[in-house]
Amino acid sequence: MTEPLFVAEPYRKSATARVIAQTDEGGLILDRTIFYARGGGQPGDSGTLDWEGGRIAIATTIKGDGGAIILVPAEPCILPPVGAETEHRLDWHLRYGHMRIHTALHLLSVVLPYPVTGGAIGHDKGRLDFDMPDSPDDPAVIEGRLNAFVTRDLPVSADWISEAELDANPGLVKTMSVQPPRGAGRIRLIRIGAGSTQVDLQPCGGTHVARTGEIGKLVLGKIEKKGRLNRRVTIALA
């Protein structure tokens, strides 16, 4: 099992770690990592990994079995041996973009309070699919409300609840197609705002900015019909 340092330290840009396994496909498993593994619509992190005598580029990061996180090299290469001490560094530009867009999509789910049927996160834009039969009447209002949340510079924090507590509060889950991962006994919640200023609380394992002001100005993109009821709404960083 890999210790996911990114959960508690999303702003950490580098870390040392020990190689505990190599995969048959040429990937690496470390004992701990700051690289987020692809999931929940958020891409896996990329960057570099150094060890005595070598350096490789990491193209992406994925989930393996039993809580393992696998770093995937950009091309076939000589890997550090099991037991080697390494240092890995994030492509921070991409990661920080993912954090800003991911947090912005949480805000979009507040502005458009419909069940979410899908989504995707990029470093400069993202989208959510909603179970929404009709397109919004005034897209400018949506964009204005999103940027109002950004301007308020609301705090973004994480809490944990038990799986039983989530079962007792099923309304916390906004996504129809993806359910929070179970088996660890607890579920991570992302809260935007605090106390009387709270605007959102939902299960999420991704990385987010610490305050909504870090997102920056947002631009509403296309609103597309995807099926009889689904509408795809795209947002981008200005």
> Higher confidence at residue 174 or residue 48?
48
Q: Please determine, for residue 182, whether its predicted confidence score (pLDDT) is greater than 90.
A: no
Q: How far is CA 98 from CA 36, 61, 122, 143, in A?
A: 10, 14, 6, 19
Which sequence spans correspond to the domains of the chain?
3-90, 95-237
Distance (Å, rounded) from C-alpha 215 to C-alpha 123?
A: 11
Helix, strand and coil content of the chain, in percent to the nearest 5, comes to 25, 40, 35
- Is residue 207 very low, low, confident or very high in pLDDT (cuts 50, 70, 90)? very high
> Higher confidence at residue 175 or residue 85?
85
pLDDT for the residue numbered 184: 67
Q: How far is CA 138 from CA 16, 25, 42, 220, 223, in A?
A: 49, 49, 28, 11, 11
Selection from 210, 199, 235 nearest residue 220 by Cα: 235
pTM beyond 0.85: the answer is yes
- Is residue 178 very low, low, confident or very high in pLDDT (cuts 50, 70, 90)? low
Encode pLDDT of 43-59 as tens digits. 999 999 999 989 999 99
Interacting residues of 177 by C-beta distance below 8 A, sequence separation 6+ = 117, 118
Q: Please determine, for residue 181, whether its predicted confidence score (pLDDT) is greater than 70.
A: no
Interacting residues of 201 by C-beta distance below 8 A, sequence separation 6+ = 159, 172, 189, 190, 191, 192
Which pair of tokens denotes residue 158? 């994480």
How confident is the prediction for the chain on average, in pLDDT? 94
pLDDT for the residue numbered 36: 98
Encode pLDDT of 119-152 as tens digits. 999 999 999 999 998 888 899 999 999 999 999 9
Question: How crowded is residue 217: how many other Cβ atoms within 10 Å of its Cβ?
Answer: 12
Encode pLDDT of 73-117 as tens digits. 999 999 999 999 999 999 999 999 999 999 999 999 999 999 999
pLDDT for the residue numbered 229: 80
pLDDT for the residue numbered 198: 97
Q: Please determine, for residue 24, whether its predicted confidence score (pLDDT) is greater than 90.
A: yes
Per-residue pLDDT averaged across 207-217, rounded?
A: 98
Q: Classify domain 95-237 at the CATH topology level.
A: Threonyl-tRNA Synthetase; Chain A, domain 2 (3.30.980)
Distance (Å, rounded) from C-alpha 210 to C-alpha 103?
A: 9
Q: What is the CATH number of domain 3-90?
A: 2.40.30.130
Per-residue pLDDT averaged across 6-12, rounded?
A: 97
